[in-house]
Amino acid sequence: MEIFATQFQVFSVLLSRMLAMFSLAPGYGGETLTFFHRMALSFMIAAVMTPVVNLPPEFNKIVSERYVTVMLEQAAIGLFIGFSLQLIFTAYQMAGEFFSVQMGFGVSEVFDPMAQISLPLLGTLKNLMALFVFFVSGAHLHLIRAIAYSFEKIPYLPMNFMTEGGIHSVLLKFLALMGSAMFVVGLKIALPVMGTLLLVSVTIGMLSKAAPQMNLLMMGYPMKILIGFMVLLWVSPVIIETMFAQFDIFFNHLDTLIGAWK
């Protein structure tokens, strides 16, 4: 009976962390999956991990003493991991927003069920491409492995965790890296299309000055759309390779953050 109670404590805290992470992680959160499906997925993963997870000897005692607090800590850790991954997907949505207005798609917005907001059409396209790369590259499996690794390294949060071992500096550095990467990656992906459309706008402006009798302004809108899609199709392989690389960089930084915890 004691073994069952111990295993149930481990299972419950694992379930709390997994469910919180899936509530925010792209591809799982929002309206992508219902709460029942997220709960079932978290339940199965927690049940598989419970017998094999490696925990410190004092874990059961700490859970027994402050069970509710530990459950809230697990939810906070899961939400943090899901939110960190969401920043990478936000970079791809931002890349589509950068040149949507220049191509003439700024007024055409669609509802994103994962983020619960309206986004330009090209921002949604980039998000779907990133989601495709996320599952094809096996990053969703690495996410589950990161949860298991984090549970072994950070089974609970000590009361002085923000001062112990300088973890607050590592945590702030990780958030700064993810926040800055969101803008840098978005600009890298959008720069070829933005630069090309800028040249098209300058060319149309010069031609309209040289031949004012021609209505080049109205001809410029379909021209920008055509050239924008051609450039986007041309640089799509590079964008996909960038997405693969960014997921690798994200999980490397996440593993470094988890490994730095003492």
Q: How far apart are CA 25 and CA 223, in angstroms?
A: 38
Averaged pLDDT of the chain: 76
Q: How far apart are CA 130 and CA 79, in angstroms?
A: 20
Q: How far apart are CA 71 and CA 9, in angstroms?
A: 10
pLDDT tens-digit map of 201-249: 777 777 777 766 666 666 767 777 788 788 888 888 888 888 888 888 8
The string of DSSP codes covering 189-222 is HHHHHHHHHHHHHHHHHHHHHH-TTS-HHHHHHH
pLDDT tens-digit map of 102-142: 776 655 555 555 555 556 677 777 778 888 888 888 888 88
pTM of this prediction? 0.77
- pLDDT band, residue 1 (cuts 50/70/90): very low
- pLDDT band, residue 88 (cuts 50/70/90): confident
Region 160-170 average pLDDT:
56
Instruction: Decide if pLDDT at 196 tops 50.
Output: yes
pLDDT tens-digit map of 5-53: 567 777 888 888 888 888 888 878 766 677 788 888 888 888 888 887 7
pLDDT given for residue 167 in this prediction:
56
CB 167 within 8 A of CB 259: no
Backbone φ and ψ for 129, nearest 5 degrees, come out as -65, -45
> Residue 161: which of 149, 151, 169, 173 has the closest Cα?
169
Region 88-112 average pLDDT:
70
